C-alpha cells in the first residue's frame, strides 16, 4: 500500500492529542484513588461518553463494517448485541455494583462472598480477558497502519501500546477519562462524516457501484482486470466457474462447491467481469448476503451470539471499572442510559460503510482483510486528494478506537494486578501497567491477524461465561456461596477455553469447527449458571454471615447513605488523600 | 425532581469523604468545629460516624427508627430491604424479558418467513431496517423506562423510611 501522508499526519495528531490530554489531566492524579477510579467524581454525561469511547473498539470501528461486507445481514447482530449488553448491564448490575464501593471486579467478589481464593482466581480471569481483548486492538492497529503506509504492521501495535502506556502510567483512570470522552466524539465524527460523504457519492452515482447493484442475485464482480495480493493465508470459494491466473503459474478454472486454499505471498489475477470469490465462510451471493438467518445453523449461531454479547458486556473488566468512577448508584444507572443513546448513534454508520464496500471494494473479500473496509472504501469511491483526506479522517477514528479501548483495558488490568497481587500503591499500579502493556504487545506482534470481531466475540463469550453469573447471582440472590461461584467460573471459563483451542486447531486443519465452537456462549453460559446454582445449593451453609448487610449496601437507595467505599477500609489512606489534596492546590 | 424530594425530606446524602469539590465546603459548613485528625484508623471511624447524621431535629422519630432497624438488620429491616430488592428485580426482569423477546423473535421471523426476509420498503430491504436501525431506539426506550421505574422504587423506599 502506498503512503498516504494525510492519514499518517492525522494519526500522529490523534496520538499527540491523546498524550497531551492525558498529561494535562494526570497533574491532578496522585493517589491510588485517582489512579483506579478517578476519585469517583466523574459526572454522568462525561462518564457516558467515556464509557462509549472505551467500548467502541477496533471490533466496532473496523470489524463491524468488515463483517457486514463479508456476512451481510447476519453481521448486523454484532452491533445490536454490543448495545443490548449495556441494557442488561444497566438493569441488573450498574447501580448495585457502584454501591458496593469496590475498586475492581475481584474486590467486589471478595466483598460479597468473603473468599480470598475466589478473589485470586477471578483476578487471573480478569487479566486473561483483558489481554485477550487487547490483542485484536493491537492487531487492528497494525492492520490500519499497513492500510495507510508501507510500514510493517508491528510498528502500529507497538506504537499504540507505547502511547497508552505513557498515559496510564502518568495518571491512571484520572488521566484517561477525559481522553476517552474526547475519543468517543472523535470516533463518531470520523465515521459519521465519511459515511455521509460516501453515501452522497453513491446516490450521485445513480445507485450502482463498481461491482453492480446490491439487489442482484449474482455475487459482486470485478469491473476491470484486477490483481489481488494475498498477504494472509485464506481459503476461497467461488459462486460461478471463474478463470484465475496465479502469478508465476498457469491459468486455472475454479469451480463452485470446492475450496481453494491460497498461501500468503500469492498474487491472483482476475479478468474483467469475473465474479469475486469470497473467503471460506463469507456470503457468496448477494441474495444470501442480503438475507438474515437462512439456515437453522444461522439461527442457533445468532442466539448464541446474542447471549454472549448481552451478558458478556457486564463481564468485561474495562467496562465495569468505569462504573466505579460514578459518584453514586443513581448516576451509574443514568450514565448507562446515555451510553445506550451514544452507541445506537454510532452503530448506524459502520453498517452503511460495510454495505457500500460490498459494492466498491469487493477485492477485500478475496484477500480476507475485510476489516480494512473502513480505510479502503474512501479511496476506492473518491479518487485523488479527496479520497485521501477522507481516509485520513477514518484512520484518525480507528486509532482513537485502539487508544481508548486499550487504555481502558490497561487501567483495569493494571488496577487488578496492583491491588490484588501487589500492594495497591501508586508505584505498584505504574509497575503493573508497564508489565501488562508489554505482554499483549509481544503477542500481537508474533500472532497472525484474524478477524477482529471474531476474537472479540470469543472474549465476550469468555466474559459472559465467567463473570456474568457471579454478578447477576451475587447481586440478586442471597444463596450464592463462594464455592458455587468458583465452580461456575471455572466450568464456564474452562469450556470457553476449550472452544478457543478447538477453534484454533480447526483453523489450521481445514475449518471443520461447527457453529458452537466458533460461538460457544449458548452452552457455556448455561453450564456456568447451572453449575453456580447447583453447587451453591449444595454448599448452602457456606453462605456468608454478612449477606444481609451486603445486600443492604448494594440495594439501599443512595440518599440513605449506606454506601461505603471499600478503599478506606482496605488502604486506610487518609494521609495519602491529604497529600493528594495538598498536591492539588499547588 | 428526585433531588428536590430528597432535599425536602432532609435526606441529602452525605457522599463518601473521597468525593470531589463540593464535599469540603459542606463539611465545613455543617461541622466546622471538628479538627482534622492526624492518625489513620480512628479518623476513618469517626468520619464514618459523622456521616449517618441521626440526631437532626427535623427528622421524625419513625424515620430514625427505620434507619436504625435497617442498619442493625432486624427482621423488619431485612424484610423492608428484601421487598425493595424484589420490586427492583421484578421490573428489571420484566423489561429484560421484553427486550429479549422482541429481539429474539426477529431471527425466528426471518427464518420462518422468507417473504419477510426479502421484502423491501422504499427500496431498502426490510431485514436491514429491522436489524440495522430499529433495535437502537427500542433499546434506548427500554433503558429509559427501566431508569424511571428503578428511581421510582428507590424514591418510594426513601419516602417510606423517612416518614
A436-489 pLDDT per residue, tens: 888 888 888 887 656 665 677 788 889 999 999 999 999 999 889 999 999 999
Which tens digits make up the pLDDT trace of A219-269? 677 777 777 777 677 777 777 777 777 777 777 777 777 777 777 777 777
Candidate from A294-308, A385-399, B73-87 with smallest mean pLDDT: B73-87
Hey, which of A198-207, A342-351, A512-521 has the most confident mean pLDDT? A342-351
Residue B149, chain A, CB below 8 Å: the answer is no
Tell whether the model's pLDDT for residue A306 goes beyond 60: yes
Tell whether the model's pLDDT for residue B19 goes beyond 50: no
Strand runs (DSSP E) across A142-258, as ranges?
226-229, 234-237, 242-246, 251-254
Tell whether the model's pLDDT for residue A570 goes beyond 70: no
CA A567/CA A36 separation, integer angstroms:
10
CB pairs under 8 A between A and B: 187
> B30 versus B106: which is more confidently predicted?
B106
The CA-based angle A363-A366-A369, given to 5 degrees, is 85
> What is the pLDDT at residue A529?
93
Average pLDDT over residues A5-23: 87
Residues A64 and A155 placed together within one structural domain of the fold: yes
Percent of chain A whose predicted confidence (pLDDT) is above 90: 16
CA torsion, points A100, A105, A110, A116, in degrees to nearest 10?
-160
Tell whether the model's pLDDT for residue B132 goes beyond 90: no
Tell whether the model's pLDDT for residue A87 goes beyond 70: yes
In terms of DSSP H, where are the helices of A205-295? Answer: 286-290
**Interface with chain B: mutation pick from A91, A283, A547, highest number of B CBs within 10 Å:** A91
| A559 to B41: CB separation less than 8 angstroms, yes or no | no
Hey, which of A50-54, A151-155, B20-24 has the most confident mean pLDDT? A50-54
Domain assignment present for residue A582? The answer is: no
Residues A230 and A193 placed together within one structural domain of the fold: no
Residue B6, chain A, CB below 8 Å: the answer is yes
Domain assignment present for residue B15? The answer is: no
Please give the backbone phi and psi of residue A278, each rounded to the nearest 5 degrees, phi first.
Answer: -125, 155
Average pLDDT over residues A263-286: 74
Cell of residue B49, nine digits: 460516624
CA A325/CA B32 separation, integer angstroms:
29
Tell whether the model's pLDDT for residue B28 goes beyond 70: no
Domain assignment present for residue B131? The answer is: yes
- Number of domain units in chain B: 1
Domain assignment present for residue A534? The answer is: yes
The residue of chain A with its CA nearest to that of B145 is A337
Residues A139 and A266 placed together within one structural domain of the fold: no
Domain assignment present for residue B158? The answer is: yes
Residues A226 and A363 placed together within one structural domain of the fold: no
Domain assignment present for residue B138? The answer is: yes
Residue A562, chain B, CB below 8 Å: the answer is yes
> Residue A418's pLDDT band (boundaries 50, 70, 90)?
confident
| A101 to B16: CB separation less than 8 angstroms, yes or no | yes
- Write the residue in B52, B117, B150 that is nearest to A333 by C-beta: B150
- Write the residue in A84, A355, A561 that is nearest to B14 by C-beta: A561
| A330 to B15: CB separation less than 8 angstroms, yes or no | no
The torsion region of residue A257 among left (phi > 0), alpha (psi -120 to 50) and beta comes to left
Candidate from A99-103, A123-127, B83-87 with smallest mean pLDDT: A99-103
Q: What is the DSSP letter of A558?
A: G
**Interface with chain B: mutation pick from A25, A52, A85, A87, highest number of B CBs within 10 Å:** A87
Contacts of A40 in chain B (CB under 8 A): 16, 18-20
Which tens digits make up the pLDDT trace of A542-560? 888 888 888 888 888 877 7
Strand runs (DSSP E) across A500-562, as ranges?
none
> What is the pLDDT at residue A580?
44
**Interface with chain A: mutation pick from B8, B51, B110, highest number of A CBs within 10 Å:** B110
Please give the backbone phi and psi of residue A493, each rounded to the nearest 5 degrees, phi first.
Answer: -65, -40
Residues A304 and A252 placed together within one structural domain of the fold: no
**Interface with chain B: mutation pick from A213, A292, A301, A476, highest number of B CBs within 10 Å:** A292
Sole residue written with cell 428489571 = B92
Residues A378 and A295 placed together within one structural domain of the fold: yes
Residues A145 and A229 placed together within one structural domain of the fold: no
Residue B101 belongs to what domain range? 83-162
Q: What is the DSSP letter of A90?
A: I
Residue B159, chain A, CB below 8 Å: the answer is no
| B136 to A336: CB separation less than 8 angstroms, yes or no | no
- Write the residue in A77, A92, A548 that is nearest to B78 by C-beta: A548
The residue of chain A with its CA nearest to that of B131 is A76
> What is the pLDDT at residue A241?
76
> Min CA distance, A1 vs chain B (Å)?
32
Percent of chain A whose predicted confidence (pLDDT) is above 70: 90
> What is the pLDDT at residue A450?
62
Distances (CA, A) of B83 to A6, A133, A316: 60, 39, 30
Tell whether the model's pLDDT for residue B151 goes beyond 60: yes
The pTM (predicted TM-score) of the whole model is: 0.82
**Which residues, in sequence order, are bridge partners of residue A397?**
none
Contacts of A333 in chain B (CB under 8 A): 147, 150-151
> A117 versus A298: which is more confidently predicted?
A117
> A68 versus A503: which is more confidently predicted?
A68
Which tens digits make up the pLDDT trace of A169-179? 887 777 788 88
Tell whether the model's pLDDT for residue A289 goes beyond 70: yes
Residue A345, chain B, CB below 8 Å: the answer is yes
> What is the pLDDT at residue B122?
75
Residues A402 and A431 placed together within one structural domain of the fold: yes
> What is the pLDDT at residue B147?
93
Q: Contact at 8 Å (CB) between A332 and A98?
A: yes
Residue A306, chain B, CB below 8 Å: the answer is yes
CA A489/CA A109 separation, integer angstroms:
12
Average pLDDT over residues A142-151: 84
Hey, which of A263-277, A296-310, A338-352, B78-92 has the most confident mean pLDDT? A338-352
- Number of domain units in chain A: 2
> What is the pLDDT at residue B9?
52
Interface of A with B in 455-494 (CB under 8 A): 476
Residue B95, chain A, CB below 8 Å: the answer is yes
Residue B11, chain A, CB below 8 Å: the answer is yes
> What is the pLDDT at residue A573?
44
Please give the backbone phi and psi of residue B28, each rounded to the nearest 5 degrees, phi first.
Answer: -65, -40
Tell whether the model's pLDDT for residue A346 goes beyond 90: yes
> What is the pLDDT at residue A525?
92
> What is the pLDDT at residue A80?
92
Q: Contact at 8 Å (CB) between A432 and A418?
A: yes
Average pLDDT over residues A198-208: 73
> What is the pLDDT at residue B54?
52
Average pLDDT over residues B139-143: 94
Residues A194 and A243 placed together within one structural domain of the fold: no
**Which residues, in sequence order, are bridge partners of residue A212?**
A209
Q: Contact at 8 Å (CB) between A338 and A45?
A: yes
The residue of chain A with its CA nearest to that of B14 is A561
Average pLDDT over residues A28-37: 73
Residue A74 belongs to what domain range? 5-206+288-546
**Interface with chain B: mutation pick from A308, A561, A562, A568, highest number of B CBs within 10 Å:** A561
Domain assignment present for residue A295? The answer is: yes
> Min CA distance, A33 vs chain B (Å)?
8
CB atoms within 10 A of CB A34: 26
Residues A326 and A469 placed together within one structural domain of the fold: yes
In terms of DSSP H, where are the helices of A313-451? Answer: 317-323, 329-360, 363-367, 373-381, 385-420, 426-446
Residues A250 and A388 placed together within one structural domain of the fold: no
Q: Which residues does A275 contact at the CB level (< 8 Å), separation at least 6?
A: A218, A219, A220, A221, A222, A238, A239, A240, A242
Residues A231 and A359 placed together within one structural domain of the fold: no
- Write the residue in A303, A347, A577 that is nearest to B136 by C-beta: A347
- Write the residue in A306, A337, A348 that is nearest to B104 by C-beta: A306
Average pLDDT over residues B115-130: 78
Give SS3 for B54.
coil
The residue of chain A with its CA nearest to that of B154 is A557
Domain assignment present for residue A565? The answer is: no
Domain assignment present for residue A578? The answer is: no
> B41 versus A532: which is more confidently predicted?
A532
CA A373/CA A364 separation, integer angstroms:
7
Which tens digits make up the pLDDT trace of A369-395? 788 888 888 888 888 888 888 889 999
> Min CA distance, B25 vs chain A (Å)?
14
Average pLDDT over residues A309-324: 87
Strand runs (DSSP E) across A198-315, as ranges?
226-229, 234-237, 242-246, 251-254, 260-262, 267-270, 278-279
CA A198/CA B67 separation, integer angstroms:
61
Amino acid at each position: 500500500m502506498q503512503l498516504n501522508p494525510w492519514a499518517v499526519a492525522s494519526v500522529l495528531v490523534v496520538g499527540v492529542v491523546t498524550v497531551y490530554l492525558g498529561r494535562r489531566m494526570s497533574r491532578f492524579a496522585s493517589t491510588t484513588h485517582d489512579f483506579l477510579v478517578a476519585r469517583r467524581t466523574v459526572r454522568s454525561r462525561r462518564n457516558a461518553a467515556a464509557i462509549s469511547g472505551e467500548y467502541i473498539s477496533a471490533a466496532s470501528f473496523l470489524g463491524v463494517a468488515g463483517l457486514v461486507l463479508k456476512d451481510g445481514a447476519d453481521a448486523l447482530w454484532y452491533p445490536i448485541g454490543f448495545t443490548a449488553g449495556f441494557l442488561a448491564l444497566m438493569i441488573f448490575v450498574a447501580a448495585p455494583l457502584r454501591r458496593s464501593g469496590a475498586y475492581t471486579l475481584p474486590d467486589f467478589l471478595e466483598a460479597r462472598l468473603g473468599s480470598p481464593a475466589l478473589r485470586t482466581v477471578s483476578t487471573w480471569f480478569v487479566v486473561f480477558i483483558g489481554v485477550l481483548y487487547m490483542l485484536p486492538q493491537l492487531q487492528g492497529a497494525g492492520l490500519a497502519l499497513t492500510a495507510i503506509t508501507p510500514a510493517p504492521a508491528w510498528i502500529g501495535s507497538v506504537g499504540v501500546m507505547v502511547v497508552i502506556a505513557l498515559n496510564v502510567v502518568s495518571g491512571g483512570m484520572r488521566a484517561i477519562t477525559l481522553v476517552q470522552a474526547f475519543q468517543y466524539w472523535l470516533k463518531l465524527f470520523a465515521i459519521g462524516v465519511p459515511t455521509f460523504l460516501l453515501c452522497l457519492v453513491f446516490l450521485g452515482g445513480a445507485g450502482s457501484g463498481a461491482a453492480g447493484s446490491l439487489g442482484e442475485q449474482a455475487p459482486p464482480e470485478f469491473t476491470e482486470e484486477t490483481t489481488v495480493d494475498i498477504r494472509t493465508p485464506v481459503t476461497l470459494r467461488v459462486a460461478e466457474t471463474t478463470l484465475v491466473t496465479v502469478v508465476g503459474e498457469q491459468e486455472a478454472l475454479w469451480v463452485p462447491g470446492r475450496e481453494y486454499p491460497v498461501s500468503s505471498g500469492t498474487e491472483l489475477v482476475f479478468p474483467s467481469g469475473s465474479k469475486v470469490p469470497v473467503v471460506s465462510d463469507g456470503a457468496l451471493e448477494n441474495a444470501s448476503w442480503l438475507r438474515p438467518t437462512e439456515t437453522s445453523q444461522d439461527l442457533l449461531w445468532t442466539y448464541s451470539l446474542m447471549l454472549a454479547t448481552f451478558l458478556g458486556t457486564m463481564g468485561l473488566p474495562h467496562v465495569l471499572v468505569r462504573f466505579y468512577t460514578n459518584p453514586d448508584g443513581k448516576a451509574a444507572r443514568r450514565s448507562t442510559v446515555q451510553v445506550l443513546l451514544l452507541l445506537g448513534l454510532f452503530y448506524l454508520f459502520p453498517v452503511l460503510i460495510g454495505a457500500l464496500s460490498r459494492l466498491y471494494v469487493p477485492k477485500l473479500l478475496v484477500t480476507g482483510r475485510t476489516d480494512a473496509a473502513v480505510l479502503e472504501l474512501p479511496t476506492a469511491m473518491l479518487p485523488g486528494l479527496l479520497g485521501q483526506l477522507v481516509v485520513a479522517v477514518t484512520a484518525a477514528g480507528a486509532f482513537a478506537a485502539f487508544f481508548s479501548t486499550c487504555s481502558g483495558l490497561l487501567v483495569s488490568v493494571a488496577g487488578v494486578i496492583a491491588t490484588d497481587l501487589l500492594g495497591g500503591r501508586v508505584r505498584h499500579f505504574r509497575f503493573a501497567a508497564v508489565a501488562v502493556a508489554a505482554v499483549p504487545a509481544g503477542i500481537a506482534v508474533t500472532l497472525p491477524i484474524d478477524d477482529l470481531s471474531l476474537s472479540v466475540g470469543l472474549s465476550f463469550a469468555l466474559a459472559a461465561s465467567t463473570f456474568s453469573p457471579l454478578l447477576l447471582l451475587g447481586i440478586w440472590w442471597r444463596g450464592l456461596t463462594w464455592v458455587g461461584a468458583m465452580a461456575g467460573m471455572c466450568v464456564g471459563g474452562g469450556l470457553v477455553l476449550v472452544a478457543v483451542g478447538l477453534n484454533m486447531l480447526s483453523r489450521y486443519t481445514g475449518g471443520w469447527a461447527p457453529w458452537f465452537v466458533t460461538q460457544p456462549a449458548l452452552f457455556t453460559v448455561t453450564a456456568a449458571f447451572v453449575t453456580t446454582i447447583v453447587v451453591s445449593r449444595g454448599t448452602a451453609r457456606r453462605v456468608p454471615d454478612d449477606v444481609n448487610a451486603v445486600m443492604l449496601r448494594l440495594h439501599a437507595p443512595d440518599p440513605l447513605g449506606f454506601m461505603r467505599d471499600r478503599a478506606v477500609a482496605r488502604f486506610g489512606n487518609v494521609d495519602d488523600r491529604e497529600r493528594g489534596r495538598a498536591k492539588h492546590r499547588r | 425532581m428526585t433531588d428536590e424530594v430528597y432535599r425536602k425530606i432532609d435526606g441529602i446524602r452525605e457522599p463518601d469523604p473521597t468525593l470531589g469539590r463540593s464535599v469540603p465546603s459542606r463539611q465545613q459548613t455543617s461541622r466546622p468545629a471538628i479538627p482534622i485528625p492526624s492518625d489513620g484508623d480512628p479518623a476513618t471511624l469517626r468520619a464514618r460516624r459523622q456521616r449517618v447524621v441521626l440526631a437532626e431535629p427535623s427528622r421524625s422519630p419513625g424515620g430514625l427508627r427505620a434507619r436504625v432497624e435497617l442498619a442493625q438488620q432486624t427482621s423488619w429491616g431485612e424484610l423492608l430491604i428484601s421487598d425493595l430488592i424484589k420490586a427492583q428485580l421484578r421490573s428489571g426482569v420484566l423489561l429484560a424479558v421484553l427486550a429479549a423477546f422482541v429481539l429474539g423473535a426477529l431471527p425466528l421471523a426471518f427464518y420462518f418467513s422468507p417473504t419477510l426476509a426479502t421484502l423491501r420498503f422504499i427500496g431498502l430491504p426490510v431485514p436491514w431496517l429491522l436489524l440495522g436501525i430499529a433495535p437502537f431506539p427500542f433499546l434506548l426506550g427500554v433503558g429509559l423506562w427501566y431508569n424511571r421505574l428503578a428511581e421510582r422504587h428507590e424514591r418510594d423506599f426513601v419516602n417510606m423510611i423517612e416518614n
